[in-house]
Amino acid sequence: MNATLLAADCLPRGGVVTVETSSDASAPSFHIRAEGNHARFTEEVAQALAGEGMNVDARHVQPFLTHKLSRSVNTALKIVPTEGKVEISAG
């Protein structure tokens, strides 16, 4: 859910967020796609998502919390920007 909120934040001018999850309970994974005009994320968000942001402020608490939650279940998050979309995946 946190990663879905993060994907929605990548769409400053609106768009569509699509969530796909695995059906294998022993190896959970997800792929979230945020598509829209000017879909983007900041370098600070990428750092917080990777657990590298030591100065966590109100704007970066969501990606930092998402990082902490992913680490608690032993998985890594990946965020990739492409033209008109941002993709977040785990597992």
Q: What is the pLDDT of residues 60-79, one digit of tens each?
A: 888 888 888 888 888 888 99
pLDDT at 17: 97
pTM listed for this prediction:
0.84
Whole-number Å distance between alpha carbons of 73 and 27: 11
Out of 3.40.50.720, 3.30.565.10, 3.30.70.660, 3.90.1150.10, select the CATH number for domain 2-90: 3.30.565.10
29 close to 88: Cβ distance less than 8 angstroms:
no
Phi, psi values for residue 51, rounded to 5°: 80, 15
Phi, psi values for residue 83, rounded to 5°: -60, 110
19 close to 89: Cβ distance less than 8 angstroms:
no
